[in-house]
A and B are shown apart, each in its own frame.
Chain A
Amino acid sequence: MIRKKWRNVIHGCLRAALLAGLTILFMPNDSRADEGKLLFTGGVTELEGAGGGGLVPWALITGYETRDGVGADAHYTHANLGDYRVNAAGLAVGLFDRFELSYVNVALGGGIAASLNGGHTISENVVGAKLRLFGSAVYGQGSWIPQVAVGAQFKNNSDINGVVTTLQGSLGLPTTSNIPDIKSNGVDFYVAATKLFLAQSLLVNTTLRFTKANQFGLAGFGCGNSMVCGSGKNKYSPEGEFTLGHLLNVRTAVGVEYRTRPDNLKTLSNNLGLGHTLREDSAYDLWFAYAPSKKLDIVLAYLLLNNVVGSPDTNGLYLSVRAGF
């Protein structure tokens, strides 16, 4: 319940603090926080913890440190999406505008999914790493080459085994051959390209992700028994993620995002006689970001996840607040 959720969040934050502490301990002495990047050029925070838009990791490295510094930020996100609620809390470290490490705990509450977990939220921990390869989104104005980064997100969902067991029990699946093999952890890989067209105040991002995650991993990873899952539902699938952003002024930006997602549980859903209950759709959002300073930014969005475990209209307001330190 609430206590469990907070325990997860606290454990995660401690782990992230340890990570940040070690990073700062081992960094060269002459590097320091300079907050030298321009506003928004580290992105805001993506749901899975990376520097990016609300739904899409960008090629930008989180925070405001330039190639000469190391800095960290913490964020809290709440989304009220019809039957479901999503809460996320995490930390991210940007190193020398080259490398990014992040941690977030994402918890899904409400709906059928949570009732399958004994009324508790289903939560996952995501540790992310991102490396900028080449290009400069900001300074490469005379060139068409975008800033390009590669990243990985290591996801662990400790609740999904219990959920699958409950689902099994409630449907009275008779033999082991009928049991779907849904994993509790998985790794997403992505490559992101970000270009800032300063003269037009436009940010364009395209990300290609390889993932097995169902509903970001909140519904586990893959579906591994082809007897019930159908074939090809347990391998990495390529997904496209896009952001278009526009700076209204130095402190304010608006934009839209679109993210395709795997639909690994579709055949399972049919085979269990659950119709479209477990279907997964593409996700969208329409966002507004305001940064009163480099220490604080606020994102307000309308997020559409569409069908999430039994609730076809998992859509609603998303609020994320981030503090740099």
Chain B
Amino acid sequence: MEFARKMMIVAAAMALTLSTAQAAPGSASLYDQLGQEPGITGVIDTFIGIVAADARINHFFANANIARLKTLLVLQVGMASGGPQKYTGRDMKSAHAGMGIREADFNALAEDLYRAMDRSDVPFRLQQRLMAVLAAAEPAIVSQ
């Protein structure tokens, strides 16, 4: 009886956890849910502005061609979210080689992307789906 009572508490808690954790319903891809290329372009525009103002990491972009960076980021996020884009830049490892990027820098960029998606009204569960794809690139980007 005591055991059953405890198990009910655990089951209720797990059901609550899992029900809030369920993935996006329906068949729409992450790319569609982000609003396809226009939606992604909007997020990236906001993101670039936030990164440019972020003293932790903006020095990495001091000499970057911002227009080209935007184009590549839209292609990359489009492709990562299941869109038809083909990323044409260098691979993540060679593009970031020798830049001395630390884990903290990588995460600062991730925090800026969360912020950009918040401002673009991207729901948190979509943010997380995109982050899951991008987080796996950490070993290639951060200098070992």
Contacts of A282 in B (CB 8 A): 6
In the assembled complex, how far is the CB of residue A38 from the closest CB belonging to chain B, in whole angstroms?
A: 5
Which single residue of chain B is at the shortest CB-CB distance from A67? Answer: B103
Task: Tell me the bound Cα distance from A300 to B58 in angstroms.
Answer: 37
Q: Could you tell me how many residues of chain B have their Cβ less than 8 Å away from some Cβ of chain A?
A: 33
Known: A141-B133, A246-B17, A304-B6. A199 touches B139 (CB 8 A): no
Determine if B139 and A139 form an interchain contact, defined as CB atoms under 8 angstroms apart: yes
Give every chain B residue within 8 A of A136 (Cβ-Cβ): 138
Does B73 reach chain A (CB closer than 8 Å)?
Answer: no
Task: Please judge, given known A-B contacts A66-B104, A284-B9, A286-B13, whether A200 and B21 are in contact too, CB under 8 Å.
Answer: yes
Distance between A125 CB and nearest chain B CB, rounded to angstroms: 30
A188 within 8 A of B: no
Q: Which residue of B lies closest to A200 (CB)?
A: B21
Residues of A within 8 A of B72 (CB): none
The bracket for how many chain A residues form the interface is 35 or more
A34 to B104, CA, bound (A): 7
- Which A residues are CB-close (under 8 A) to B110? 38
CB of B135 within 8 Å of the partner chain: yes
Q: Which of B15-33 contact A (CB under 8 A)?
A: 16-18, 20-23
Interface set, chain A 192-224, CB cutoff 8 A to B: 197-202
- CB–CB A36/B107 < 8 A: yes
Complex formed: what's the CA distance from A254 to B21 in Å? 11
B50 at interface by CB-CB < 8 Å: no
Tell me, yes or no, whether A247 is within 8 Å of chain B by CB: yes
Q: Is B111 an interface residue (CB 8 A)?
A: yes
Report whether B114 and A250 are in contact in the complex, using a CB–CB cutoff of 8 Å: yes
A255 contacts the other chain (CB 8 A): yes
CB-based contact A141/B136 at 8 Å: yes
Contacts of B111 in A (CB 8 A): 38
| Known pairs A68-B104, A255-B17; A138 contacts B135 (CB<8 A) | yes
In the assembled complex, the Cα of A43 lies from the Cα of B30 at a distance in Å of 28
Shortest C-beta distance, B135 to chain A (Å), equals 5
Is A239 part of the binding interface, using a Cβ–Cβ cutoff of 8 Å? no
Q: How far is the CB of B132 from chain A (nearest CB, A)?
A: 4
Assembly CA distance A286 to B11 (angstroms): 11
The answer to the question of A174 belonging to the interface, with a C-beta cut-off of 8 Å to chain B, is no
Name the A residues within 8 Å of B124 (CB-CB): 201, 247-250
Taking the complex as formed, is B93 at the interface, i.e. its CB lies under 8 A from any CB of chain A?
A: no
CB–CB B135/A198 < 8 A: yes
CA–CA, A187 and B42, complex, Å: 55
| B53: Cβ under 8 A from any A Cβ | no
Q: Is A37 an interface residue (CB 8 A)?
A: yes
The 8 A CB mask of A284-325 against B (1 = contact, 0 = none) is 101000000000000000001010000000000000000000
**Which residue of B103, B111, B132 has the most chain A CB atoms within 10 A of its CB atom?**
B103
Nearest Cβ in chain A — how far from B117, in angstroms?
10
**A199-B23, A304-B9 known; A141 and B132 CB under 8 Å?**
yes
The answer, yes or no, to whether B52 is at the interface (CB within 8 Å) is no
Between A and B, 15 residue pairs with Cβ closer than 8 Å are A36-B105, A37-B103, A38-B107, A66-B107, A68-B102, A68-B103, A140-B136, A199-B133, A245-B17, A247-B128, A248-B124, A249-B124, A250-B114, A256-B17, A286-B13
Q: Apart from A141-B133, A255-B13, what are 15 other A-B pairs with CB-CB below 8 Å?
A: A38-B110, A66-B104, A66-B107, A67-B103, A139-B136, A141-B132, A199-B129, A199-B131, A199-B132, A199-B133, A200-B23, A246-B18, A249-B124, A250-B124, A304-B9
